[in-house]
């Protein structure tokens, strides 16, 4: 049985361009897109999702795949997927940054480990917050929500249209929100450590014969562990706040009519 060449190219357009958008998000999004997950597993997951949703997607524009316009459309799909996956990375890096700030302030930053996602040495407190935020992300089905919004985007942001410059600017501004949220989460711990260091300064002034370096370092570490335990309850509310902002940004990028969180 032979198929005419136009039918074959129509089928390729209806499969390859959605695959580019979906696989780009899978390759970048948190945890699933990390280096700890083999590339073959991510590619297989992208192919399975594309095969499941391709029959219900709208027809792509009749553009030749190997033309200049076809390559431009392929690049647009990759950029859309990378942008959506990058938003989830910014959401979780908020807590990594907050953990690093707390670790440096509490002298717990000396303990470090290799981050499996990027292969760099990072403070252990930052990894703890990363694991906690990752569990919360999967606990609220954030990965499923992102896949659902990306599939719905083929209706609101059809193949052939790219992200607007205002959408790319919103991603940059969301980076500022990441730093502000990380500072807000770590502000209580940093303030408490400031008071502890201030008390050490008063002790040194009152009793210069005390070796403040011998007693200050272990007390600061023990106080840091206590402060870390006391401030752990606020992580959940901060996660919901940052994740809701991330959902709003994804909806704006994909032109989705999402309900306000």
Q: Is residue 200 in some structural domain? A: yes
pLDDT band at 257 (very low <50, low <70, confident <90, very high): confident
pLDDT, tens digit (0-9, with 9 covering 90-100), for 63-76 = 877 788 888 888 98
Question: Given a cut of 80, is residue 36 above it in pLDDT?
Answer: no
Q: How confident is the model at residue 261 (pLDDT cuts 50, 70, 90)?
A: very low
Task: Indicate whether 43 belongs to any domain.
Answer: yes
**Average pLDDT of 226-251?**
86
Give 120's pLDDT tier (boundaries 50, 70, 90): low
Q: What is the mean pLDDT of residues 42-69?
A: 85
Distance (Å, whole) CA 43 – CA 31: 14
Taking CA 105 as the corner, what is the angle to CA 193 and CA 111, rounded to the nearest 5 degrees? 130
| Residue 184 reports pLDDT greater than 60 | yes
Q: Which residue has the higher pLDDT, 167 or 150?
A: 150
260 occurs within a structural domain:
no
Q: CA dist 26 to 103, 104, 116, 160, Å?
A: 31, 32, 17, 21
Q: What is the pLDDT of residue 260?
A: 45
Q: Is the pLDDT at 136 greater than 50, yes or no?
A: yes
- What is the number of domains present in the chain? 1
Of these ranges, 182-191, 197-206, 242-251, the one predicted with the greatest mean pLDDT is: 242-251
Angle at 211 between CA 231 and CA 198, to 5 degrees: 40
Nearest to 11 by CA among 71, 152, 19: 19
Q: Is residue 227 part of a domain?
A: yes
Mean pLDDT of 110-126: 61
**This prediction's pTM:** 0.82
Q: What is the pLDDT of residue 103?
A: 77
In a domain, 39, yes or no: yes
Res 209: pLDDT: 65
pLDDT of residue 212: 65
CB neighbour list of residue 103: distance below 8 Å, 6 or more residues apart: 109, 111, 123, 124, 125, 126
Residue 66, number of CB atoms within 10 A of its CB: 7
User: Is 80 exceeded by the pLDDT of residue 116?
Assistant: no
Domain presence at residue 259:
no
Full domain range(s) for residue 97:
5-254
* CA dist., res. 36 & res. 32, Å (int): 8
Residue 261 lies in a domain: no
What is residue 82's predicted lDDT score, i.e. its pLDDT? 92
């Amino acid at each position: 049985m032979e198929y005419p060449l136009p039918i074959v190219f129509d089928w390729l357009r209806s499969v390859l361009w959605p695959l580019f958008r979906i696989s780009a998000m899978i390759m970048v999004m948190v945890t699933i897109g990390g280096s700890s997950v083999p590339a073959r597993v991510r590619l297989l997951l992208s192919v399975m999702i594309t095969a499941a949703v391709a029959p219900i997607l709208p027809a792509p524009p009749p553009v030749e795949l190997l033309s200049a316009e076809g390559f431009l459309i392929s690049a647009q799909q990759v950029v859309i997927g990378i942008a959506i996956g990058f938003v989830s990375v910014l959401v979780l890096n908020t807590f990594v940054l907050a953990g690093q700030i707390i670790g440096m302030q509490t002298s717990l930053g000396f303990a470090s480990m290799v981050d499996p996602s990027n292969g760099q040495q990072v403070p252990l407190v930052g990894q703890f917050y990363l694991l906690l935020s990752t569990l919360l992300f999967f606990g609220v089905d954030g990965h499923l929500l992102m896949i659902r919004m990306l599939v719905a985007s083929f209706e609101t942001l059809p193949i052939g249209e790219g992200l607007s410059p205002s959408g790319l600017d919103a991603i940059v501004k969301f980076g500022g929100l990441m730093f502000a949220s990380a500072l807000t989460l770590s502000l209580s711990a940093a303030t408490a450590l400031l008071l502890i260091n201030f008390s050490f300064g008063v002790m040194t002034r009152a009793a210069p014969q005390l070796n403040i370096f011998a007693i200050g370092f272990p007390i600061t570490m023990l106080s840091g562990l206590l402060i870390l335990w006391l401030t752990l309850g606020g992580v959940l509310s901060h996660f919901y706040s940052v994740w809701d902002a991330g959902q709003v940004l994804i909806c704006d990028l994909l032109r989705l009519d999402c309900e306000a969180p």
